[in-house]
């Protein structure tokens, strides 16, 4: 119960900090890439994009590992089939 409450408070605090950061930093920025590509937009969108890319780069390998471990667990806990000759 206390853990759920703590996670809820932490999540709400993170949202409040993010919204106030967005409100206080509305300026436009310019990001330059390779091959003369560039992007102009709000700072908040650039940071949100970086956050999403970082999350995906961290989550995909973990998700693959989780699927492998679940498959391994399912194979280990399945009843072993032995053929009996009659």
Per-residue model confidence as pLDDT tens digits over 33-80: 888 899 899 888 888 888 889 989 999 999 999 999 999 998 888 777
Distances, alpha carbon 4 to alpha carbons 7, 15, 72, in Å? 5, 17, 30
Summary mean pLDDT of the chain: 87
Share of the chain above pLDDT 70, in %: 93
Q: DSSP label at 5?
A: H
pLDDT above 70: residue 81: no
13, 35 contact by CB (below 8 A): no
């Amino acid at each position: 119960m206390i853990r759920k409450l703590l996670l809820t408070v932490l999540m709400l605090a993170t949202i409040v900090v993010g919204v106030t950061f967005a409100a206080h930093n509305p300026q436009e920025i310019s990001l330059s890439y390779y091959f003369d590509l560039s992007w102009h937009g709000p700072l908040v969108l650039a940071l949100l994009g970086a956050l999403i890319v970082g999350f995906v780069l961290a989550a995909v390998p973990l998700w693959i590992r989780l699927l492998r471990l679940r498959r391994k667990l399912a194979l280990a806990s399945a009843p072993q089939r032995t053929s009996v000759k009659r």
